[in-house]
Amino acid sequence: MVIDFNEMLDAYKRILKIPSMSAKGTGINEAASFLKALLKNMGIKSEIIQTSGNPVVYGEYFTGAPKTLLVYNHYDVQPIDPENEWTHEPFAASEDHGRIYARGAADNKGTLMARIFGIEKALENNELHVNLKFLYEGEEEIGSPNLKEFIVKNKDRFAADDVIMEGSQVGEENRPVIALGVKGLLYVELKSRTGTTDLHSSLAAIAPSPAWNLINALDSVYDNNKVEIPGFYDNITPLSNNDLNILKDYPFNIERMKSSYGLKNFMFDDKERIIKELFTSPTCNIAGIISGYAGEGAKTVLPAEAKAKVDFRLVPDQDPEIIFDSMKDYLRKMGFDLEMNPLGMEYPVRTAPDTELAQKMISSAIKTYGRKPIIMLNSPGTQPMDLFTRELGIKNAVSAIGVGDNISKAHAPDESVSIENFRLAIEHTKNFLSEFQ
């Protein structure tokens, strides 16, 4: 099968017309079947594998090369509400001023399809020097509830040396973004409960306060911009010179970002410091805290319960399990009587800039886009890359070759992708594969 760009665009529109909203349960099997057939038509062995949730589309193409690359994408999309705010039908895939409008155009069907066609071109030119495996998930937009179980059950099938994750986009100045990893996450819910009911606050003289218990405990965890949990900073990998150079190159306009985030100030004035902290510092954030009366005016109540949600973003090689245990021990030893539940744990991933995967992703981006990519040592946020690196033992992972840009509105009405970016992502995939081995 050899097809031209218009046919690629047409196939892209066809999958966009399938309303594969995992939250609604619509179009799931249709999208999976579409992908299975598409791979098969390219000569790629493909199958639909049932999971405890929506099916996974699996594909594999063996060249006999020593290295295997796993390509991860998802075929499910976000729901379309608020539906009446769409000016283009969400599942019509209509073209307008050089863009294609549809739910999932950017997140993640555009990237998925561009990669497929880039691979097809590489195959056509005999420029594929690795084995390929494909994992197309159908539950990413509802939090991938069954992915870990599925991957663990199918370790051998998904064994690979490197992985290209979903995510990434075309950023400022039309420079493609390459993220060499992700920060990890430890999300902890803390709860203090001292009684069965709120009391009159005059009893604060003799009744324990869950709110103070929680606040004093939290202050013991983080104060003066420093996490006080023993060992928290111990396993942080020092930055290499390559890492430092990548940080230096990162574009960041302080005034523009301040206004875009609605902030009066960042924590630091110095641009280099801001970039370094953003990508390489772990965080300890209060995502939420609640206790007692928070309405208008003065109510004098001694609350029976206080709750907080704390999220830590972790950098290599901090370990969320070890940090959680250490936090529990630390607060217990200090005498705080708290319930502590880990609501999320993800390991940080950072692929060294001098690996073949990173190098070739960067050089092929320069070749394709004619400009330097925006490289992130790791994204400041979290993605479950550790499923691949820890559960499958994959050595290197990047998020790259995204088709969205800063007006793509992923997850919002009128999601769209520039046709030119779709074309460039195909080229980037092809160029990457021609170099990567």
What is the footprint of its own copies within residues 289-328 (CB under 8 A)?
Answer: 289-295, 297-304, 306-307, 309, 311, 313
**420 near its own copies (CB under 8 A):** no
**288 near its own copies (CB under 8 A):** yes
SS3 95: strand
CA distance 239 to 277: 12
Binding-residue total with its own copies (CB under 8 A) = 73
- Measured in whole angstroms, the distance separating CA 144 from the mean position of its chain's CA atoms is 12
According to CB under 8 A, which one of 26, 63, 201, 326 is a site residue for its own copies? 201
* 140 or 162: CB nearest its own copies: 140
- Residues 138/39, Cβ–Cβ less than 8 Å: no
According to CB under 8 A, which one of 9, 211, 394, 400 is a site residue for its own copies? 211
**343 near its own copies (CB under 8 A):** yes
Footprint (CB under 8 A) of its own copies, residues 93-122? none
CA distance 93 to 99: 9
**350 near its own copies (CB under 8 A):** no
Beta bridge partners of 199: 302
SS3 302: strand
Footprint (CB under 8 A) of its own copies, residues 378-397? 379-382
- Structure tokens given for 415: 């999601």
Query: In this chain, which stretch among 9-17, 27-35, 41-49, 212-220 interacts with its own copies, using CB under 8 A?
Result: 212-220
- Measured in whole angstroms, the distance separating CA 148 from the mean position of its chain's CA atoms is 15
**266 near its own copies (CB under 8 A):** yes
Which class for 426: exposed (0-12), middle (13-18), buried (19 or more C-beta within 10 A)?
A: buried
* 160 or 302: CB nearest its own copies: 302
**187 near its own copies (CB under 8 A):** yes
In the complex, least distance from residue 405 CB atom to its own copies, rounded to whole angstroms: 18
Footprint (CB under 8 A) of its own copies, residues 233-262? 261-262
* 155 or 332: CB nearest its own copies: 332
* Type of residue numbered 337: D
In the complex, least distance from residue 288 CB atom to its own copies, rounded to whole angstroms: 4
* 34 or 336: CB nearest its own copies: 336
According to CB under 8 A, which one of 37, 152, 159, 203 is a site residue for its own copies? 203
* Type of residue numbered 77: V
- Residues 391/150, Cβ–Cβ less than 8 Å: no
Footprint (CB under 8 A) of its own copies, residues 131-170? none
Cis before residue 225, ω within 30 degrees of 0?
A: no
Q: Concatenate the DSSP letters of all residues of 16-48 into one string.
A: HTS--BTTTT-SHHHHHHHHHHHHHHTT-EEEE
